[in-house]
């Protein structure tokens, strides 16, 4: 039967007039979903209502899904296709939901039977009211007309829903549920909702790293022979061997960041106050496991109270050591001494902890103290899924609990069913298909044949393997801060040189762009904490730190220059705010070159120098900057953050972090135009560079170089292949004329009406 969209809009108007006459709203929503499903010949129609306070959507009516899901299925802003539609305030039409990166699987409601998915936000102005969703078994079922019809209905529904008690009813329900279950229920139906920090799926048992204490350690069988001090000595020896082995292995695999990473473990192990005291406790009758836990606990107390961040950072090392000693004392198999098959729950983690635990084969991380951008970046580079949850949620997960963690959506399933496991196996294979390095062609061209460069963002040297596999044409951004962050002191010029040289060598003649140290903000060095800033993001960050600390800056520049000898290397400065900043940094590079000349040391005298475009002030003087610099690189993550004054890590304002804001479009256009006018190379290296919706615009304004998280390369290449530059230029021209966010959104929406494209 043919879809009858016009009739549908009329019928809904009639229903809404009934609502105004004071009918029961639930009944009304039920009628709306039935009517929409019938008219559109959709297998499913559902309405979700948004709760502003909880920032959460709840299923309130459905035709086609299991009725028991009403009131039970909830989605956070950005979660799943529906959550994305409501976060981004635009319809999303997906032809084949099971292969969509945003698809969110709910066990038990049989949503997986439906391929075509169309979610339209219900809005009052920019206020989120809810979402209207239709689904169909047949892939690519919904057309551009369906999108238009559903938008018209959503517009009508908005007034009705907003007017009345549905929202307050939802709140009342939530409030009574909360009082009934004190303390606040944080885990509903075995599902925890957190925030994604590093994507991927992890499976394993919960292991709370913070839990090493005399009370929480499992005590051995009381009938077994008690452990002797000699047994403990053997456990110490075994532990030392394991750690030395780990140190050797990580030094090979993560040469840039793993130097002596386990040194604190070894030092503590040799400390007689530590191991000697445990042995003494055992000699005087304390059970071995209890003795270890007691001393570990004492050390944790002392370390965590230290005023020195460097000492406080050792807390996790002592706990980790306690775990190893206990397992070795209990003679558990060597393989069980690492974190294979386990998802670690910790209040706080440092980048160095993440490295260590990764070397010990951890499957995933759940953290409860917020995630710094460096922790997120390093976990992503190491391929370890990470989800941030609240302290309450973390405390609610029992140790040993079987879990499946969907770090893409930030969802943790406790004791997942076979059905959940099977679904995630399918989703993982779909993800792999979309990110298959074998699909990459060496060169990327638009449909009309223009060359576009796809380069890699590199955080750790271990990322280079993927960069080669995905045929990166060069390194467009090397974030140089990790070797600084994981050490106890600034790395020497020589230490840095070894790392940078390896990077250049492994790229085998391809261009490499080094970024100078970008610390500050939420990326702090524990050994450099003589500043306590009220507004660190507006403080001693990036190039400001380098210009203030000339010795440290010069050592890094000399190491970059030397590593670039006989290679195609460039250096760029982060957070440039003025031409003066750039010239001051450039002067120091020239001083370093003069110094190297005088010493007769080889370096790359052709090293090009660039400014990162991340601040509104830099955009205002971009012409002058383009005249001075050899190249410009758009750091879109910071550019958006600073232009819109939206903290990119603050979920409360995440809906305001809009890459498509007209101010951002115009700023990027100005940067590219200035670069082209002055004959200077311009590239983009923030997350926007892999944003499929914005790619035609970026190509249309003349950008030809993209530096991305290289696993996204197949998707970006496919998209570039489909773009015709003439069309892209027209699109860019239209988008640059818009003065309102809503106009850009409506335009992007209209362009993306074709099913199978996530608008």
Binding mask 594-633 for Mg ion (x = CB under 5 A): ----------------------------------------
Q: How far is the CB of 633 from ligand PEP (least distance, A)?
A: 8
Provide the β-strand partners of residue 634: 613, 684
Q: Is 685 in the site for ligand PEP (CB under 6 A)?
A: yes
Exposure pattern of 592-601 as b/e (b: 16+ CB <10 Å)? bbeebeeeee
Select from 184-192, 262-270, 587-595, 635-643 the region that touches ligand PEP (CB under 6 A).
635-643
Instruction: Specify the residue, 462 or 636, whose C-beta has the smaller distance to Mg ion.
Output: 636
Count of CB atoms within 10 A of residue 198's CB?
25
Select from 61-69, 397-405, 550-558, 636-644 the region that touches Mg ion (CB under 5 A).
636-644
User: In Å, how far from its chain's centre is CA 181?
Assistant: 33
DSSP 332: -
Instruction: Specify the residue, 588 or 640, whose C-beta has the smaller distance to ligand PEP.
Output: 640
The 3-state DSSP class for residue 412 equals: strand
Of 74-113, which residues contact ligand PEP (CB under 6 A)? none
Select from 134-142, 392-400, 629-637, 660-668 the region that touches ligand PEP (CB under 6 A).
629-637
Q: How far is the CB of 381 from ligand PEP (least distance, A)?
A: 12
Q: What is the distance between the alpha carbons of residues 278 and 297, in angstroms, rounded to a whole number?
A: 12
Instruction: Specify the residue, 43 or 518, whose C-beta has the smaller distance to ligand PEP.
Output: 518
Instruction: Specify the residue, 685 or 698, whose C-beta has the smaller distance to ligand PEP.
Output: 685
Provide the β-strand partners of residue 513: 570
Total binding residues toward Mg ion, as defined by CB under 5 A: 2
Instruction: Specify the residue, 395 or 522, whose C-beta has the smaller distance to ligand PEP.
Output: 522
317 binds, among Mg ion, ligand PEP, none (CB under 5 to 8 A by kind): none
Of 597-626, which residues contact ligand PEP (CB under 6 A)? 614
The set of residues, in sequence order, having a beta carbon less than 8 Å from that of 698 and lying 6+ positions away, is 668, 684, 688, 689, 706
Report the residue from 479, 562, 608, 660 that binds ligand PEP according to the rule CB under 6 A. 479
Q: Is 635 in the site for Mg ion (CB under 5 A)?
A: yes
479 binds, among ligand PEP, Mg ion, none (CB under 5 to 8 A by kind): ligand PEP
Q: What is the DSSP string of 352-411?
A: HHHHHHHHTT--EEEESS---HHHHHHHHHHT--EEE--HHHHHTSPTT-EEEEETTTTE
Select from 403-411, 638-646, 660-668, 710-718 the region that touches Mg ion (CB under 5 A).
638-646
Dihedral sign, Cα of residue 67, residue 73, residue 77, residue 83: negative
**Cβ proximity of 348 and 389 under 8 Å:** no
Q: What is the distance between the alpha carbons of residues 662 and 670, in angstroms, rounded to a whole number?
A: 12
Q: Dihedral (C-alpha) 657, 659, 664, 668: value to the nearest 10 degrees?
A: 140
**Cβ proximity of 358 and 344 under 8 Å:** no
239 binds, among Mg ion, ligand PEP, none (CB under 5 to 8 A by kind): none
636 binds, among ligand PEP, Mg ion, none (CB under 5 to 8 A by kind): ligand PEP
745 binds, among Mg ion, ligand PEP, none (CB under 5 to 8 A by kind): none
321 binds, among ligand PEP, Mg ion, none (CB under 5 to 8 A by kind): none
For residue 457, which of 512, 510, 407 has the smallest C-alpha distance?
512
For residue 325, which of 423, 235, 192, 256 has the smallest C-alpha distance?
235
Q: How far is the CB of 638 from Mg ion (least distance, A)?
A: 4
Select from 98-106, 141-149, 267-275, 630-638 the region that touches ligand PEP (CB under 6 A).
630-638
Q: Is 683 in the site for ligand PEP (CB under 6 A)?
A: no
Q: Is 194 in the site for Mg ion (CB under 5 A)?
A: no
Q: Is 638 in the site for ligand PEP (CB under 6 A)?
A: yes
Select from 110-118, 183-191, 506-514, 632-640 the region that touches ligand PEP (CB under 6 A).
632-640
685 binds, among ligand PEP, Mg ion, none (CB under 5 to 8 A by kind): ligand PEP
Q: Is 374 in the site for ligand PEP (CB under 6 A)?
A: no
Q: Is 317 in the site for ligand PEP (CB under 6 A)?
A: no
Report the residue from 364, 474, 635, 755 that binds ligand PEP according to the rule CB under 6 A. 635
Which helix (H) or strand (E) element contains residue 555? helix 550-563
Q: What is the distance between the alpha carbons of residues 67 and 46, in angstroms, rounded to a whole number?
A: 11
- Give residue number: closest CB to Mg ion: 638
Binding mask 375-414 for Mg ion (x = CB under 5 A): ----------------------------------------
Q: What is the distance between the alpha carbons of residues 100 and 117, in angstroms, rounded to a whole number?
A: 10
Of 458-477, which residues contact ligand PEP (CB under 6 A)? 477
Q: Is residue 191 packed enough to be buried (19+ CB in 10 Å), middle (13-18) or exposed (0-12)?
A: middle
Binding mask 485-524 for ligand PEP (x = CB under 6 A): ---------------------------------x------
Q: Is residue 181 packed enough to be buried (19+ CB in 10 Å), middle (13-18) or exposed (0-12)?
A: exposed
Total binding residues toward ligand PEP, as defined by CB under 6 A: 10
Instruction: Specify the residue, 559 or 685, whose C-beta has the smaller distance to ligand PEP.
Output: 685
Q: How far is the CB of 546 from ligand PEP (least distance, A)?
A: 15
Q: Is 636 in the site for ligand PEP (CB under 6 A)?
A: yes
Q: Is residue 223 packed enough to be buried (19+ CB in 10 Å), middle (13-18) or exposed (0-12)?
A: exposed
Query: Which residue numbers are catalytic?
Result: 374, 685
For residue 477, which of 450, 437, 507 has the smallest C-alpha distance?
507
User: Interior CA angle at 111 toward 110 and 112, to 5°?
Assistant: 90
Q: Is 637 in the site for ligand PEP (CB under 6 A)?
A: yes
Q: Is residue 496 packed enough to be buried (19+ CB in 10 Å), middle (13-18) or exposed (0-12)?
A: buried
**Cβ proximity of 225 and 422 under 8 Å:** no
Q: Is 638 in the site for Mg ion (CB under 5 A)?
A: yes
Of 69-128, which residues contact Mg ion (CB under 5 A)? none
135 binds, among Mg ion, ligand PEP, none (CB under 5 to 8 A by kind): none
Q: How far is the CB of 543 from Mg ion (least distance, A)?
A: 11
Which two tokens mark 400?
């040993």
Q: How far is the CB of 735 from ligand PEP (least distance, A)?
A: 20
Instruction: Specify the residue, 345 or 543, whose C-beta has the smaller distance to Mg ion.
Output: 543
How, if at all, do strands 56-63 and 402-406 pair?
A: unpaired
Q: What is the distance between the alpha carbons of residues 277 and 293, in angstroms, rounded to a whole number?
A: 12
Report the residue from 686, 700, 714, 755 that binds ligand PEP according to the rule CB under 6 A. 686
Select from 168-176, 199-207, 591-599, 636-644 the region that touches ligand PEP (CB under 6 A).
636-644
Instruction: Specify the residue, 76 or 479, whose C-beta has the smaller distance to ligand PEP.
Output: 479
Q: Is 375 in the site for ligand PEP (CB under 6 A)?
A: no
- Give residue number: closest CB to ligand PEP: 686
DSSP 473: S
Dihedral sign, Cα of residue 62, residue 67, residue 69, residue 72: positive
Q: What is the distance between the alpha carbons of residues 496 and 489, in angstroms, rounded to a whole number?
A: 12
Instruction: Specify the residue, 409 or 637, whose C-beta has the smaller distance to ligand PEP.
Output: 637
Instruction: Specify the residue, 117 or 478, whose C-beta has the smaller distance to ligand PEP.
Output: 478
Distances (CA, A) of 636 to 214, 242, 688, 759: 49, 43, 6, 21
The residue count of the chain comes to 759
Q: What is the distance between the alpha carbons of residues 326 and 349, in angstroms, rounded to a whole number?
A: 22
Q: Under the rule (CB under 5 A), what is the footprint of Mg ion?
A: 635, 638
Q: Under the rule (CB under 6 A), what is the footprint of ligand PEP?
A: 477, 479, 518, 614, 635-638, 685-686
């Amino acid at each position: 039967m043919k879809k009858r969209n016009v009739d549908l809009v009329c019928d809904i108007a009639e229903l809404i007039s009934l609502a105004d006459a004071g009918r029961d709203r639930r009944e009304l929503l039920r009628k709306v979903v039935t009517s929409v499903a019938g008219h559109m010949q959709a297998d499913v129609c559902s309405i979700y209502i948004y709760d502003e306070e909880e920032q959460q959507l709840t299923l309130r009516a459905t035709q086609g899904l299991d009725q028991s899901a009403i009131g039970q299925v909830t989605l956070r802003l950005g979660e799943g296709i529906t959550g994305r539609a409501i976060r981004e305030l635009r319809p999303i039409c997906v032809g084949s939901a099971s292969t969509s990166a945003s698809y969110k699987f709910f066990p038990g409601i049989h949503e997986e039977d439906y391929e075509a998915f169309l979610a339209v936000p219900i809005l009052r102005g920019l206020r989120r009211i809810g979402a209207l969703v239709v689904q169909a078994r047949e892939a690519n079922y919904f057309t551009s007309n369906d999108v238009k019809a559903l938008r018209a209905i959503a517009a009508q529904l908005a007034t009705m829903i907003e007017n009345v008690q549905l929202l307050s009813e939802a709140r009342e329900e939530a409030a009574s549920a909360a009082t009934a279950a004190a303390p606040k229920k944080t885990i509903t139906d075995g599902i925890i909702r957190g925030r994604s920090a590093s994507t991927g799926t992890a499976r394993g048992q919960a292991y709370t790293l913070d839990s090493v204490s005399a009370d929480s350690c499992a005590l051995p069988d009381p009938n077994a022979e008690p452990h002797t001090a000699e047994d403990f000595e053997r456990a110490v020896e075994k532990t030392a061997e394991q750690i030395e082995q780990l140190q050797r292995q990580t030094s090979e695999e993560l040469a840039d960041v793993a130097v002596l990473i386990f040194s604190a473990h070894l030092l503590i192990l040799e400390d007689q106050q530590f191991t000697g005291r445990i042995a003494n406790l055992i000699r005087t009758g304390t059970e071995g496991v209890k003795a270890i836990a007691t001393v570990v606990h004492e050390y944790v107390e002392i370390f965590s109270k230290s005023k020195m961040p460097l000492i406080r950072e050792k807390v996790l090392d002592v706990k980790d050591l306690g775990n190893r000693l206990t397992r070795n004392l209990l003679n558990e198999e060597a393989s069980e001494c690492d974190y294979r098959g386990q998802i670690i729950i910790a209040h706080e983690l440092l980048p160095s902890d993440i490295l260590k635990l990764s070397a010990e084969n951890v499957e995933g991380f759940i953290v409860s103290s917020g995630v710094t951008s460096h922790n997120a970046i390093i976990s992503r580079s190491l391929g370890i899924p990470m989800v941030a949850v609240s302290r309450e949620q973390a405390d609610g997960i029992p140790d040993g609990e079987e879990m499946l963690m969907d770090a893409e959506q930030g969802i943790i399933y406790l004791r997942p069913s076979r059905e959940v496991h099977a679904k995630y196996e399918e989703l993982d294979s779909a993800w792999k298909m979309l990110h298959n390095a074998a699909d990459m062609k060496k060169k990327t061209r638009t449909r009309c044949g223009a060359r576009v460069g796809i380069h890699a963002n590199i955080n750790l040297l271990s990322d280079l393997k993927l960069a080669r596999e995905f045929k990166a044409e060069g390194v467009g951004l090397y974030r140089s801060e990790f070797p600084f962050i994981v050490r106890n002191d600034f790395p020497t010029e020589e230490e840095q040189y070894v790392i940078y040289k390896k990077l250049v060598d492994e790229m085998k003649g391809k261009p490499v762009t080094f970024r100078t140290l970008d610390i500050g903000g939420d990326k702090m060095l524990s050994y450099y904490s003589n500043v306590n800033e009220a507004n660190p993001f507006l403080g001693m960050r990036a190039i400001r730190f380098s210009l203030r600390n000339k010795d440290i800056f010069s050592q890094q520049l000399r190491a970059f220059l030397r590593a670039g000898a006989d290679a195609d290397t460039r250096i760029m400065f982060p957070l440039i705010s003025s031409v003066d900043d750039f010239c001051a940094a450039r002067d120091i590079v020239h001083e370093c070159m003069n110094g190297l000349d005088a010493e007769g040391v080889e370096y790359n005298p052709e090293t090009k120098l660039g400014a990162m475009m991340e601040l509104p002030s830099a955009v205002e003087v971009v012409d002058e900057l383009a005249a001075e610099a050899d190249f410009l690189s758009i750091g879109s993550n910071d550019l958006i953050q600073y232009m819109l004054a939206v903290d990119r890590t603050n979920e409360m304002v995440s809906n305001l972090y809009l890459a498509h804001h007209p101010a951002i479009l115009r700023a990027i256009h100005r940067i590219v135009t200035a670069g082209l006018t002055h004959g200077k190379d311009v590239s983009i290296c923030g997350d926007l560079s892999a944003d499929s919706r914005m790619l035609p615009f970026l190509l249309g304004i003349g950008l030809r170089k993209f530096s991305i998280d290289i696993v996204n390369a197949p998707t970006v290449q496919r998209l570039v292949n489909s773009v015709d530059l003439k069309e892209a230029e027209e699109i860019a021209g239209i988008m640059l004329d818009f003065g309102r966010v809503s106009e850009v959104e409506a335009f992007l929406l209209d362009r993306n009406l074709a099913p199978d494209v996530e608008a």
